[in-house]
Amino acid sequence: MLAIDEAQNIPSIGMGLKIIVDQVPGIRVVVTGSSSFELAGQVGEPLTGRKHTLTLYPLAQQELLSAYNKFELQEKLVDFLIFGSYPEVITSATRQARNEILTEIANSYLLKDILSFERVKNSRTLLDLLKLLAFQMGSEVSLAELGTQIGVDIKTIQRYLDLLEKAFVTVRLGGFGRN
């Protein structure tokens, strides 16, 4: 078994992994990285058909039952909705510590990885879009309205929304209808 962490920092990692997988029979390779965009871009094509992608999500409520009973989970629901369920956030003792951790995640992940990898020109626009989406959470969203409020065209809004989905920041849900 070969394990490589922060693989996105290794030049031509995709081709290197392809050679290893093709030339070393029976090898199992685990590759991780904090920048899913860069890693997916570098590893995806060279290993087509020879890789399995595993997405790690924050802790689910079912998993939290091992640490909290159902009543405690119900009592902490507001905190989970506000702060999410990253392990470090959950184990933080104070609200201020949770805020600091989430600010660091947003600054390092959103503002570093997404902006640099996808060459998003204006971080303010992306942050404004996220704020507007947060205020409309659970409601229908109009791309034209978002574009008007932020001052960018619909194609830019679509690109940013696609980018946020790929980064697991947002999830697009279609309307529900029986007809």
pLDDT, tens digit (0-9, with 9 covering 90-100), for 96-124: 999 999 888 877 776 666 766 666 666 78
Task: For residue 154, tell me if it sits in a domain.
Answer: no
Average pLDDT, the chain: 82
Q: Is residue 51 predicted with pLDDT exceeding 80?
A: no
Give the separation between CA 146 and CA 127, rounded to whole angstroms: 12
Q: Which residue has the tokens 């990692």?
A: 13
Task: For residue 126, tell me if it sits in a domain.
Answer: no
Question: What percent of the chain is modeled with pLDDT above 90?
Answer: 15
Task: For residue 14, tell me if it sits in a domain.
Answer: yes
Task: Give the three-class secondary structure for 88.
Answer: helix
Task: For residue 33, tell me if it sits in a domain.
Answer: yes
Task: For residue 27, tell me if it sits in a domain.
Answer: yes
Q: Which two tokens stand for residue 37?
A: 């965009």
Task: For residue 18, tell me if it sits in a domain.
Answer: yes
User: How many folded domains does the chain comprise?
Assistant: 1
Task: For residue 20, tell me if it sits in a domain.
Answer: yes
Instruction: Name the least confident of 17-21, 55-59, 60-64.
Output: 55-59
145 pLDDT tier (thresholds 50, 70, 90): very high
28: domain range? Answer: 2-43
More confident of the two residues 12 and 177? 12
What confidence tens digit (pLDDT) does each residue in 154-169 have?
A: 998 998 888 888 777 7
